Amino acid sequence: MAAPREFSTAASYPQLVTLNPDERLQCYAGSPWWLAQAMRSGDRLELYELHPGEHQHLQQFDQQLPPGGRRHFGDGPATLLQHLPVATPRLCVLIDPSYEVKSDYLAVAETLKRIADKVRHAVVAIWYPLLAAQRHLELLDAVRASGVRKVLRSELIYGDPEQTRGMYGSGMLVLNPPWQLDQLLAETGEQLATLYSGRSTVEWWVAE
């Protein structure tokens, strides 16, 4: 995915400007950095990485973690399930595996089901890639068949599935999305779709 030459939403995303002072999108941080930016006083952030190389990269991020943030080497979904239900009144989970193993798609759907069964109020965001093999459909079908309710689906498509090598887009599923997140994703998706000459969609994959 090629980055646009300029991004016009700098005022809306001041965090990106701190990484790109000339307002040209050269550096885009990963999910640990973004989650750390959003932490409030009293919040806890538990970061899990199973890939040894990626975990080593995360070590460089330790000094930037705010109080309440911790990094772990291990399987995040498996560890999370061992600690459910949680004592805190709120729980937000981001699951974004590499999907290098084909079984990851169904495993993620099963993890979502187990989280929903144990913590009904949990907000769970699942990222998935759009690839020519269309394996993300296994994830989507499994989530819909699981009985889990109130799941929002958002996708950004910026390439032709038949002509693009690698990812031609990406998607998100969100269980128990916060109020008006569907509107925010629709507005943001339109902006990104314009930048990449693509298209975006937002829909309720499973209604409440």
Per-residue pLDDT, 69? 79
Q: State the CATH class of domain 88-208.
A: alpha beta
Is 96 annotated in the active site?
yes
Residue pLDDT, tens place only, 155-165: 999 988 887 78
Tell me the pTM: 0.85
| 36 Cβ contact list (under 8 Å, min separation 6) | 45, 64, 65, 66, 69
Per-residue pLDDT, 5? 39
Residue pLDDT, tens place only, 126-156: 999 999 999 999 999 999 999 999 999 999 9
Catalytic residue among 43, 96, 104, 117: 96
Per-residue pLDDT at 201 exceeds 90? yes
Q: How far apart are CA 19 and CA 34, in angstroms?
A: 12
In the chain, where are the structural domains located?
Answer: 1-74, 88-208
Per-residue pLDDT at 79 exceeds 90? no
